[in-house]
Amino acid sequence: MSSTESRGPRQIARAFKWSMMGLRAAWRHEASFRLEGYLFLILFPLGLWLGRGGVEKAILAGSLLLVLSAELLNSAIEAIVDKASPEFHELAGRAKDMGSAAVLLLMFNVALCWGLIFWQRLS
């Protein structure tokens, strides 16, 4: 779609459909995404329940969404690297490792957000 075309309801519906296809593909083909998805299904409602006020709820629940988003991007990087360069190449390995590192950093962010919020309650 060119940048001059309008984004009407039909285009938005198509974009939503493609996004749902991406989520289904990640769930079907990516074990890491499924594991993080299961954790999300447990921790997201827990974060909404345990959070005091909108900001805490947003931090507890939102930090989990960031992990899933990064995992989707990491999986996309891995898929395109595997398609473009099926044999081992240092740069391909580096790209995949960096995508994985981004997910790891956001997992640390989840632990930090949850830990700081609940540490504050204990003190």
Does any domain span residue 97? yes
Domain residue limits at 59: 9-122
CATH code of the domain covering residue 91: 1.10.287.3610
Whether the model clears a pTM of 0.85, i.e. scores above it, the answer is yes
Does any domain span residue 3? no
What pLDDT was estimated at residue 73?
98
Does any domain span residue 77? yes
3-state secondary structure of 67: helix
- What's the rounded mean pLDDT across residues 114-121? 94
Q: How many CA atoms lie within 13 A of 5 on its CB side?
A: 8
Give the pLDDT band (50/70/90) at residue 4. Answer: low
Does any domain span residue 103? yes
Give the pLDDT band (50/70/90) at residue 17. Answer: very high
Does any domain span residue 56? yes
Q: Are 78 and 92 in contact (CB under 8 A)?
A: no
Please spell the DSSP secondary structure of 23-80, one letter per residue. HHHHHHH-HHHHHHHHHHHHHHHHHHHH--HHHHHHHHHHHHHHHHHHHHHHHHHHHH
Give the pLDDT band (50/70/90) at residue 122. Answer: confident
- Catalytic sites, residue numbers: 71
Does any domain span residue 1? no
CA-based nearest residue to 30, from 64, 73, 66, 62: 73
Instruction: Convert the pLDDT of each residue in 92-111 to its tens digit.
Output: 999 999 999 999 999 999 99
Does any domain span residue 2? no
What is the tally of structural domains in the chain? 1
27 pLDDT above the threshold of 60: yes
